[in-house]
C-alpha cells in the first residue's frame, strides 16, 4: 500500500537556499528519501503555500527566506500572503517581511488606479 503524497514531506527543502534547490531539484528531493510517488510536475509554489499554512512559526520563516532570495511571486500568491498577514497568521517579524514583499510585487506588477 502506498501513501498519498503530501507537500509537508518536502518542507525540509525550504531549509536550503532557493537557488541551490533550483539548481538540482531532483537531487534535492531524492535526498529526502520520500517513498511515495511524487506528483508530476512537482510544484514548489504548492510547497511554499503548504509552509505558509502550516500553523508553525518555523516554516513561514523559511518560506519568507525563499521569497527574499527570489522565489517568483504572482498575483494569487501575493493575495494569499496579504490575507494571512492581515489575519495575523505569522509572527510579527515574518508578517512584516511577507507583507512588504507582497506589497512591493503589487506596486511593480499591478496597474495603479
Q: What is the pTM of this model?
A: 0.90
The full DSSP string for 9-65 is: GGGGGGGS-HHHHHHTHHHHHHTT---SPPPSS--HHHHHHHHHTSS-SHHHHHHHH
- The domain of 82 spans 7-109
Q: Give the model's pLDDT for residue 1.
A: 46
Give a yes or no: residue 48 inside a domain.
Answer: yes
pLDDT in tens, 49-77: 999 999 999 999 999 999 999 999 999 99
Give a yes or no: residue 2 inside a domain.
Answer: no
Domain count, the chain: 1
Backbone angles phi, psi at 29, to 5 degrees: -70, -40
User: Mean pLDDT of all residues in the chain?
Assistant: 93
The answer to whether residue 43 scores a pLDDT higher than 60 is yes
Question: Do 39 and 50 meet the contact criterion of CB atoms below 8 Å apart?
Answer: no
The answer to whether residue 29 scores a pLDDT higher than 60 is yes
Amino acid at each position: 500500500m502506498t501513501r498519498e503524497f503530501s507537500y509537508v514531506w518536502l518542507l525540509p527543502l525550504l531549509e536550503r537556499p532557493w537557488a541551490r534547490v533550483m539548481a538540482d531539484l531532483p537531487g534535492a528531493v531524492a535526498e529526502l528519501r520520500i517513498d511515495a510517488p511524487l506528483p508530476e510536475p512537482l510544484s514548489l509554489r504548492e510547497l511554499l503555500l503548504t509552509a505558509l499554512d502550516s500553523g508553525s512559526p518555523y516554516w513561514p520563516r523559511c518560506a519568507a527566506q525563499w521569497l527574499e532570495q527570489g522565489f517568483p511571486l504572482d498575483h494569487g500568491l501575493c493575495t494569499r500572503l496579504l490575507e494571512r498577514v492581515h489575519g495575523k497568521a505569522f509572527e510579527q517579524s515574518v508578517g512584516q517581511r511577507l507583507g512588504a514583499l507582497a506589497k512591493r510585487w503589487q506596486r511593480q506588477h499591478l496597474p495603479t488606479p
